[in-house]
């Protein structure tokens, strides 16, 4: 099953490679991984999207906790959470596509953030599956380029990951 | 501290840190990137520097020093090739959770990333085989980093920590201020076990009808032997040790069923399979220990698992009562609860269980065909045990001889058996013996090895000479990489591909060339006399290399073939 794991780690050089190295050394799946500093500059927050059986996920959490630089680990799937990802899609905007792409972007609540003669760049945020759905809905021939940030996750209500 | 506080170089700070940590030996090898450090070593006399002949041996020797004493082992190597040579030693220590600090030199900070002479990304290379590692970029961080390194290495589940120090950092100056203690918000190892879980475990133990205790290296590393003995004797339970756990419980005690696992005893493996309550302590259910996990699950049993590392729990085998904590602290709490409780396991069921165990034991799975013609390797180990009165520090290399050492040398005390269980590194035996001998100068130290393994670190005969280490090498010379040959015999239709050891040196002459005593023993009737001579007062100060020419065809039994279950052993008598 897909799991979203959030963690706080010391903002030290090499910290990211310890996490990435752990996943490859132990052959764990990694769908996406995002990392950036938090409001506390000494800490980085990472969101990892992974999948595996319950046993594997349990091991992943334990192994992450074992890394000396990792301060806290939370499996967001243990409770209610929100997941968001940002995607930028460059699409053809010539002929009939020009109207069609604008319409699709509106339907999915995207924003056109760059307009050129032959193309639009659409910005879209949402859960991973919403972004997938948007790409599905577009005419394949219209997609020139896509870039996604990978998911960020946060617990709902008073589920707070902080030290 | 004010402006007048004297500033000293990073190299001197490092030396002062090692002094603060009460380090007695540093095993190492110099080179360009660590010259500033070696210059400071020249000027001090707080610790002894042991110059090895290859960096791999420096790490192994420091590792054995730690295993034999419980202290943190320290090794020092230069950048580039010095660092890469150390990696096998580091990985070996990592797999067996040995507390160590390895200091490696690095090219000067401005040269990092420039493919400088003797530059290698040590932090990157060692990341997967250390507990943690550091690159020290600022001389002001040297002291606090070394403090953290020692703390991380020794606490929680121990392990090696690498500290990579660029050359300019050892030359620049700072004020020396060694922290008294360490606080790391990201690293807080658990010590005390959950008391509710501990109560549950005690209740289960008291209700057990077919109990079994299985302990590993954690008991030895955690210095929990005494408490373990108390617990096991109090309850009258049978007990087995893993290869890493030998000596954790006295092997000559009647409750001890011998080692378990791939080459474990029939009684230990059967009891593991058939018990109703299994108490695992400081052990990790690894593949060489329980064989095929599927087969292990065919029988129902309740498992209690005590370990300091949460990630060791339920990794290969689901357990019912996990207890995360330092084994010493958890066992102390269990013993207290037992003392306060008048209940004891039902005597009648325990008696029936012991009768069953005695029936398994009566198969005498560790017998071998005696011979007056050719030296049986098991016989040499048995005699070694007798001659050293079971009280030596025994190191081994990897192969058949390692298994025979584990099976036939009965370790009654912890930290006496020093071998590479996890990584299975050939070549550790001789440097391990050096580390053990330096730790215990008066003790008898023997290295049980094979003619293939010993050649992997043979250059250390020179180190033994320089430091007057009277190690006794027991070379079980079967002219084969015996363990490889055994697998080829069993599973590859006797095709002995590249496992014959051709062109062997004359080990007697070799030992003599290094200034040691060499002996070649070819007849069973000479075995005992040779061992007695080697351990006699006349040779107490000398290193002795005993080359025992042993039976080429001998195999290690019992054996659980790869992928089979614990109760599917092959016994010697069945072939
Ligand atoms: C560094 C290393 N290389 C290869 C192996 C694989 N291996 C395991 S046992 C063995 C043979 C050891 O032969 P020897 O030292 O003569 O001991 P014996 O088995 O004959 O007692 C080999 C090659 C290993 N464990 N370590």
Helix residue ranges per DSSP H, chain A: 15-25, 54-66, 96-107, 128-137
* Domain end residue (candidates: B361, B390, B409): B361
* Structural domain includes residue B411: yes
CATH of the domain at B205: 3.40.50.1220
Q: Which atom of ligand 1 is nearest to B424's Cα?
A: 25
Helix residue ranges per DSSP H, B362-441: 377-387, 400-408, 429-439
* Structural domain includes residue B564: no
Distance CA B23, CA B39 (A): 18
Half-sphere exposure of B478 (CA within 13 A, CB side): 25
Q: Determine the pLDDT at residue B3.
A: 66
Residue whose tokens read 């052993």: B569
CA distance A23 to chain B (A): 11
Contact B563, B287 (CB under 8 A): no
Contact B545, B553 (CB under 8 A): no
Same domain, B392 and B493: yes
* Domain end residue (candidates: B333, B361, B389): B361
Q: List, for residues B325-380, the tens digit of each pLDDT value.
A: 999 999 999 999 999 999 999 999 999 999 999 999 999 999 999 999 999 999 99
Same domain, B58 and B203: no
Residue to mutate among B186, B307, B316, with most A CBs inside 10 A, is: B186
Same domain, B387 and B523: yes
Q: Determine the pLDDT at residue B1.
A: 53
Strand order in the sheet with B211-215: B256-259, B239-241, B211-215, B277-281, B302-307, B321-324
Give ipTM to 2 decimals.
0.94
The whole-number average pLDDT for the span A87-106 is 96
* Structural domain includes residue B452: yes
CA distance A134 to chain B (A): 40
Same domain, B68 and B38: yes
Number of domains, chain B:
3
Same domain, B313 and B393: no
Helix residue ranges per DSSP H, A26-158: 54-66, 96-107, 128-137
Sign, CA dihedral B283-B288-B292-B296, equals: negative
With both helix axes pointing from N to C terminus, report the angle between B400-408 and B377-387 in degrees, rounded to the nearest 10: 40
The whole-number average pLDDT for the span B285-307 is 94
CA distance B310 to chain A (A): 7
* Structural domain includes residue B183: no
Distance CA B431, CA B424 (A): 15
The whole-number average pLDDT for the span B263-282 is 98
User: Is the pLDDT score of A101 beyond 90?
Assistant: yes
Same domain, B421 and B352: no
User: How confident is residue A19, by pLDDT bands cut at 50, 70 and 90?
Assistant: very high
Distance CA B236, CA B141 (A): 53
Partners of residue B239 on adjacent β-strands: B213, B256
Contact B556, B381 (CB under 8 A): no
Half-sphere exposure of B265 (CA within 13 A, CB side): 26
Distance CA A149, CA A131 (A): 11
> What is the pairing mode between strands B445-450 and B517-521?
unpaired
Is B117 a catalytic site residue? yes
* Catalytic residue (choose from B24, B47, B118, B410): B118
* Structural domain includes residue B17: yes
* Ligand 1 geometric centre to CA of B492 (Å): 17
Same domain, B202 and B168: no
* Residue B149 belongs to domain spanning: 7-175
Is the CB of B123 less than 8 angstroms away from the CB of A62? no
Burial B3-16 (b: 16+ CB within 10 A, else e): eeeeebbbbbbbbb
Q: Does pTM surpass 0.90?
A: yes
CATH of the domain at B506: 3.40.50.970
In the structure encoding, which two tokens stand for residue B181, read together? 């203690």
B397 C-beta closer than 6 A to ligand 1: yes
B381 C-beta closer than 6 A to ligand 1: no
Q: Which atom of ligand 1 is nearest to B449's Cα?
A: 15
Is B167 a catalytic site residue? yes
* Structural domain includes residue B370: no
* Structural domain includes residue B31: yes
* Domain end residue (candidates: B330, B361, B392): B361
Same domain, B63 and B112: yes
Of A55, A62, A71, the CB nearest to B310: A62
Same domain, B424 and B322: no
Same domain, B38 and B135: yes
* Ligand 1 geometric centre to CA of B320 (Å): 37
Of B135, B186, B314, the CB nearest to A10: B186
Distance CA B484, CA B352 (A): 41
Q: List, for residues B178-204, the tens digit of each pLDDT value.
A: 999 999 999 999 999 999 999 999 999
* Catalytic residue (choose from B12, B55, B71, B119): B55
CA angle, residues B165, B65, B180, in degrees to nearest 5? 55
Of A21, A65, A71, the CB nearest to B185: A71
* Structural domain includes residue B74: yes
Same domain, B286 and B385: no
Same domain, B42 and B119: yes
B480 C-beta closer than 6 A to ligand 1: yes
User: Is the pLDDT score of B51 beyond 60?
Assistant: yes
SS3 A18: helix
């Amino acid at each position: 099953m897909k799991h979203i794991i959030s963690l706080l780690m010391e903002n030290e050089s090499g910290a990211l490679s310890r996490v990435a190295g752990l996943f490859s050394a132990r052959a764990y799946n990694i769908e996406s991984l995002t990392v950036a500093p938090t409001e506390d500059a000494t800490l980085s927050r990472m969101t990892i999207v992974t999948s595996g059986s319950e046993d594997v996920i349990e091991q992943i959490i334990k192994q992450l906790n074992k890394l000396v630089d990792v301060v806290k680990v939370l499996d967001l799937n243990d409770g209610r959470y929100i997941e968001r990802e940002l995607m930028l899609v460059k699409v053809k905007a010539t002929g009939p596509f020009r109207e069609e792409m604008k319409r699709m972007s509106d339907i999915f609540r995207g924003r056109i953030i760059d307009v050129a003669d032959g193309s639009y760049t659409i910005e879209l945020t949402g859960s991973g599956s919403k972004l997938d759905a948007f790409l599905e809905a577009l005419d394949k021939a219209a997609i020139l380029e896509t870039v996604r940030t990978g998911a960020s996750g946060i617990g709902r209500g008073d589920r707070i990951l902080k030290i | 501290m004010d402006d007048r506080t004297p500033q000293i170089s990073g190299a001197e700070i490092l030396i002062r840190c090692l002094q603060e940590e009460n380090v007695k030996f540093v095993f190492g090898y110099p080179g360009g990137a660590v010259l500033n450090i070696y210059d400071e070593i020249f000027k001090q006399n707080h610790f002894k520097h042991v110059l090895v002949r290859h960096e791999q041996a420096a790490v192994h020797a420091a590792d054995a020093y730690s295993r034999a004493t419980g202290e943190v082992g320290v090794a020092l190597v230069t950048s580039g090739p010095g660092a890469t040579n150390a990696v096998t030693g580091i990985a070996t220590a990592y797999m067996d959770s040995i507390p160590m600090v390895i200091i490696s030199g690095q090219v000067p900070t401005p040269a990092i990333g420039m493919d400088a002479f003797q530059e290698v990304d040590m932090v990157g290379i060692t990341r997967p085989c250390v507990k943690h590692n550091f690159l020290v970029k600022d001389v002001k961080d040297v002291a606090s980093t070394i403090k953290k390194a020692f703390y991380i290495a020794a606490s929680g589940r121990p392990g090696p920590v690498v500290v990579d120090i660029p050359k300019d950092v050892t030359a620049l100056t700072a004020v020396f201020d060694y922290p008294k203690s360490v606080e790391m918000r990201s690293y807080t190892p658990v010590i005390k076990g959950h008391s509710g879980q501990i109560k549950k475990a005690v209740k289960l133990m008291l209700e057990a009808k077919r109990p079994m205790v299985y302990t590993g290296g954690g008991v030895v590393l955690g210095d929990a032997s005494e408490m373990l003995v108390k617990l096991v004797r109090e309850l009258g339970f049978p007990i087995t040790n893993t290869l890493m756990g030998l000596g954790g419980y006295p092997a000559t005690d009647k409750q001890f069923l011998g080692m378990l696992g791939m080459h474990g005893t029939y009684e230990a493996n059967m009891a593991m399979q058939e018990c109703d309550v299994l108490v695992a302590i400081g052990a990790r259910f690894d593949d060489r220990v329980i064989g095929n996990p599927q087969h292990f699950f065919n029988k129902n049993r309740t498992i209690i698992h005590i370990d300091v590392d949460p990630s060791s729990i339920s990794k290969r085998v689901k357990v019912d009562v996990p207890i995360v904590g330092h084994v010493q602290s958890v066992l102390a709490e269990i013993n207290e609860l037992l003392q306060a409780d008048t209940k004891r396991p039902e005597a009648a069921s325990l008696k029936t269980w012991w009768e069953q165990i005695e029936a398994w034991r009566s198969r005498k799975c560790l017998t071998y065909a005696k011979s007056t013609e050719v030296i049986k390797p098991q016989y040499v180990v048995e005699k070694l045990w007798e001659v050293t009165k079971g009280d030596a520090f025994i190191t081994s290399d990897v192969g058949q001889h390692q298994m025979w050492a584990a099976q036939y040398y009965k370790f009654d005390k912890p930290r006496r058996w020093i071998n590479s269980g996890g990584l299975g590194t050939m070549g550790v035996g001789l440097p391990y013996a050096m580390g053990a001998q330096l730790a215990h100068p008066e003790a008898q130290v023997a290295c049980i090895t094979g003619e293939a393994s010993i050649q992997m670190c043979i250059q250390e005969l020179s180190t033994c000479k320089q430091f007057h280490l009277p190690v006794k090498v027991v070379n079980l010379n079967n002219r084969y990489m015996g363990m490889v040959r055994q697998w080829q015999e069993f599973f590859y239709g006797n095709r002995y591909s590249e496992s014959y050891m051709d062109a062997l040196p004359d080990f007697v002459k070799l030992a003599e060339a290094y200034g040691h005593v060499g002996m070649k023993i070819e007849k069973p009737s000479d075995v005992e006399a040779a061992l007695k001579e080697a351990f006699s007062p006349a040779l107490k100060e000398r290193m002795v290399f005993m080359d025992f020419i042993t039976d080429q065809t001998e195999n290690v039994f019992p054996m659980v073939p790869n992928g089979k279950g614990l109760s599917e052993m092959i016994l010697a008598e069945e072939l």
